[in-house]
Amino acid sequence: MKKIFAIGIFIGVAALSCYAQEKKTNTIPSINIKKLDGSTMNSDSIRNDGKPLIISFWATWCKPCVIELNTLEENYKEWQKETGVKIVALSIDDTRTSPSVGPFINGKGWDYEVYLDPSGDFKRAMNVNLVPHTFLINGNREIVDQHTSFSPGDEELLYEKIKRVAAGQPLEK
């Protein structure tokens, strides 16, 4: 048992040091997800022609997620005009609530591209623990920023980051 633990720690450290040296950014993994019409598509098809892209993991039953997407919606038209950003709302609703995702979105009047991940494959590949979990992706499909949870006001910080990404500037740490 001790041996395994030691090996585990060793790998962790080794892997992390490799990772640090590389300074490579993670990109979006290629995973099969579902469209609202029930057909399958690959996450590779989520694109925004080199402009900033936001993927927000959410669920119809998650209150802060709905508050976040409502807040982003209020700014979406303006943000699109200024930066060309596209927002994708990726629902992790399971088959209990996934049939009502389409009606829910329309009932709210949201303008997002919406996909489903009922099996959780994409959620796991993106290391999403809790929702909301929102990713900011640059024109090279690299994940440049991510955050979990949402408080009113967070959208202004997000927009600052979107503007930098749209202008091809690096994000401050």
Partner 1 sequence: MIKKLPLKKSCLFIILFFLISIAKAQQGISGIHGNFQTDIQYYNADSSINAPPVPEKVLANSFLNLVYSSDKFSAGIRYESYLNALQGFDQRYKGNAFLFRYASYTADDLEVTAGNFYEQFGFGLIFRSYQEWGLGYDNAMDGIRVRYNPHSGIYLKGFIAKQRSFFDYGPGLVRGADGEFNINDIFKSLAEKKTKITVGGSFVSKFQEDNDPVYKLPENVSAFAGRLNLSRGNFSLGGEFAYKINDPNSSNNFIYKNGESLFLTAAYTKKGLGATLTVKRNDNMNFRSDRTAIVNNLILNFLPPTTKSQTYLLANIYPYATQSNGEIGGQAEVFYKFKPESKLGGKYGTNISINFSRLNSIDTIGLNNELGYESDFLKIGDNLYFQEFNLEISKKLNKDLKLILTYITQVYDIDVVQGLIGHGTVYDNIGIAEINYKFNSKHSMRVELQGLFTEQDMKSWAVLLAEYNISPHWFFAAFDEYNYGNDDKDKQIHYFSGSFGYTKGVTRVAAGYGKQKQGLLCVGGVCRQVPASNGLTLSITSSF
Q: Does 125 bind partner 1 (CB under 8 A)?
A: yes
Stretch that binds partner 1, among 10-18, 47-55, 78-86, 161-169 (CB under 8 A): 10-18
Integer Cα distance of 146 and 48 in angstroms:
18
Query: Which residues, including other chains, have CB under 8 Å from residue 165's CB and lie 6 or more apart?
Result: 52, 83, 136, 138, 139, 144, 171
CA distance 145 to 166: 13
Residue 83 interacts with partner 1 (CB under 8 A): yes or no: no
Whether omega before 132 lies within 30 degrees of 0, making that bond cis, reads yes
| Residues constituting the chain | 173
Binding segment toward partner 1, per CB under 8 A, in 47-55, 57-65, 82-90, 160-168: 57-65
Q: Of 10 and 82, which has the nearer Cβ to partner 1?
A: 10
- Residue with Cβ nearer partner 1 (10 or 50): 10
Residue bearing tokens 């469209």: 35
Contact residues toward partner 1 (CB under 8 A) are 1, 3-5, 7-8, 10-12, 14-16, 18-19, 22, 24, 26, 29-30, 32, 36-40, 60-63, 67, 94-97, 99-100, 102-109, 118-121, 124-125, 127-130, 133, 145-149, 151-154, 156-157
